[in-house]
Amino acid sequence: MASSAEELSVDVLVIGSGAGAMTAALASAKAGLETLIVEKADVYGGTSATSGGGLWITCNHLMPGVGIEDNPDDAIAYLTALTGNDVPPANVASFARNGARMLGWIMENSHVQFIAMPEYADYYQHIPGARPGARSIDPLPYDARELGDDFLNMNMPHRQVRVLGLMGYSNIEGAILLSKSPGWFKLLVRLAWQYFSDIPWRFRSRRSRRLTMGNALIGRLRKSLLDLHVPIWLNCPAGDLLVENDSVVGVRAKREGKDITIRARRGVVLASGGFEHNQKLRELHLPKPTSTRWSAASPANTGDMLVAGQAIGARTALLDEAWWGPTMVIDGEDRARALFTERSMPGAIVVNTAAQRFFNESVAYTTAVQAMYQRGNLPSFLIFDQRYRSNYPFGPLLPAEMHLNWLQPRHIRKDLLKSAPTIEALAGKLGLDPVALATTVARFNGFAATGKDEDFSRGENSYDLIYGDIRIRPNPCLAPLAEPPFYALQIHPGDIGTKGGLLTNENAQVIGQGGQPIAGLYAIGNCSASVMGRYYPGAGATLGPAMTFGFLAAEHIAGRSLD
């Protein structure tokens, strides 16, 4: 790297260190370009490291191995039906046709490895072109010992994907544990053994070195970058973009508290995440009410590069949208917890201020929050009974029958949930009409008995069944709320990141106000306007496009195909 005391020059500068950022850096380095990653946080990996780590990639090469076929026409038809006029058709086609190419390249040219998830259905099964599974893929677990001490600089997994805050599990392992499928207890014992037998590491850190989900993906990407000697500068926030002759040529930043100019000879890739933890930007763009406390994403995501891009004339789109998901807030935690499974398991319902159900609780999380934002549905409450409490985890609480919640602090063990011996008494604690709530529960219990949700058709498609309980009959998604005491928690219209940002083209180039690309500037991930529009096609639809367009940005910067 060419540098002076206050200025440094590289070929490619990547701002942010999530999966998309690392993919762009990896592909750039493989193309022979001198590459630098800068990250404003004191850890790398961003929200990607705390996520499930899965990708949604159409027509991927792993699908035939699990007996599911795919083709670009169906993929484009499915995405077009969801995105409508919100996304340029060229961007949709670029993702659908290049995602599988990116996946094949990265699995051949790095430590990154995935397996297909045949049971993870696309979220909108009624739309032509949907698939019953396998477009969603899961990163293989990874041994952090391969990273040496650099592992300790990685963002930790979200608490909600660690058993007792300690042991991680893959998406496939999590599904087995959650549904108590055959072999679940043996799996739990194996995970515990792997964790506690890691001696002498256990005396150094509580953190598990068996990386899963987002940590596995980021760990594999980081090792690949270490092999290529690509540096990541932590605690290095980027500021204004440098523009010369209508081209972006670098950025002003701070490193170790000192101003530095980083020049990029070939291109700058913005991959710094969304603006979910910027209350001012939330108030300006997102539906109301809104709060940074309701976001489950990395607290470092405050929209810095969105603002920097706007300052040089970049266009934006979808700023009123997010990767929505109902969330719960726990005192003392630095971010919310997304309710991916809790609302979906049989025996839980969500009601509004009128004490009425208003959507299918097993739908995709984006759709759930879109329903919550309809008039009269906030605040919303998730309600369940003792049978549910005994059998399923809820946020930080393990199933009661495991008898391990004594390990939780009092504010979780005793104060997290409101409870009452009757539905009517619970309604009183929530400020709801007791008769109305009792009527709603009685009606739902009738549906559970017949196996048919006459109001919202819960459990009638393959996506709903992902978090069903195979032991429940006749509908794995429906169980009555009948065993006292009864429990409730207020839930929020939260998110796992915003999805509006800088408008880009099919190569991830940022578009200026005149409608043409801004030379030298690229944006991917939640810093850009999502190719998925206002919906969430399937599990991994955040990271899949981030990595795909990171790869395409690197190819465009290099001026050649990498495969």
pLDDT over 60 (residue 4): no
Q: What is the 8-class DSSP label of residue 157?
A: P
For residue 399, the model assigns a pLDDT of 79
End-to-end Cα, the chain, rounded Å: 27
For residue 462, the model assigns a pLDDT of 86
pLDDT over 70 (residue 432): yes
Average pLDDT, the chain: 94
Which of the residue ranges 41-55, 156-170, 250-264, 280-294 would you say has the lowest mean pLDDT? 156-170
Report in angstroms the alpha-carbon separations of 101 from 222, 492, 548: 21, 38, 8
Mean pLDDT of 128-143: 96
- pLDDT tens, position by position, 483-538: 999 999 999 999 999 999 999 999 999 999 999 999 999 999 999 999 999 999 99
Indicate yes or no: pTM above 0.85.
Answer: yes
Mean pLDDT of 381-391: 95
- For 382, half-sphere exposure in the C-beta direction (CA atoms, 13 angstrom radius) is 29
- pLDDT tens, position by position, 91-132: 999 999 999 999 999 999 999 999 999 989 999 999 999 999
Record the tokens describing residue 267, joined without a space: 């291109």
For residue 456, the model assigns a pLDDT of 98
For residue 406, the model assigns a pLDDT of 58
Mean pLDDT of 460-476: 90
For residue 395, the model assigns a pLDDT of 84
- Determine the length of the chain: 563
**DSSP state letters, 246-268:** TEEEEEEEEETTEEEEEEEEEEE
Whether residue 279 contacts residue 476, with contact meaning beta carbons closer than 8 Å, is answered with: no
For residue 405, the model assigns a pLDDT of 64
Whether residue 300 contacts residue 155, with contact meaning beta carbons closer than 8 Å, is answered with: no
Neighbours of 408 (CB within 10 A): 16
**Which homologous superfamily does the CATH classification assign to the domain defined by 1-160+209-321+499-563?**
FAD/NAD(P)-binding domain (3.50.50.60)
318 versus 331: the higher-pLDDT residue is 318
**297 CB-contact burial (10 Å; exposed 0-12 / middle 13-18 / buried 19+):** buried
> In whole angstroms, what is the distance from residue 552 CA to residue 529 CA?
16
For residue 407, the model assigns a pLDDT of 62
> In whole angstroms, what is the distance from residue 132 CA to residue 128 CA?
12
Band of pLDDT at residue 2, cut at 50, 70 and 90: low
> In whole angstroms, what is the distance from residue 555 CA to residue 552 CA?
5
pLDDT over 70 (residue 216): yes
Band of pLDDT at residue 408, cut at 50, 70 and 90: confident
- pLDDT tens, position by position, 174-212: 877 776 778 888 888 888 898 899 998 888 888 899 999
Residue type at 364 in one-letter notation:
A
Band of pLDDT at residue 412, cut at 50, 70 and 90: confident
Band of pLDDT at residue 400, cut at 50, 70 and 90: confident
414 versus 203: the higher-pLDDT residue is 203
- pLDDT tens, position by position, 526-563: 999 999 999 999 999 999 999 999 999 999 999 999 98
> In whole angstroms, what is the distance from residue 80 CA to residue 64 CA?
24
pLDDT over 80 (residue 403): no
- pLDDT tens, position by position, 274-313: 999 999 999 999 999 999 999 999 999 999 999 999 999 9
Record the tokens describing residue 115, joined without a space: 């397996």
For residue 411, the model assigns a pLDDT of 74
Reduced to 3 states (helix: H, G, I; strand: E, B; else coil), residue 153 is helix
pLDDT over 90 (residue 170): no
For the chain, the domains span: 1-160+209-321+499-563, 326-494
For residue 158, the model assigns a pLDDT of 76
Beta strands 232-233 and 238-244, pairing class: unpaired
Residue range 326-494 forms a domain whose CATH class is alpha beta
Do 1-160+209-321+499-563 and 326-494 share a fold? Answer: no
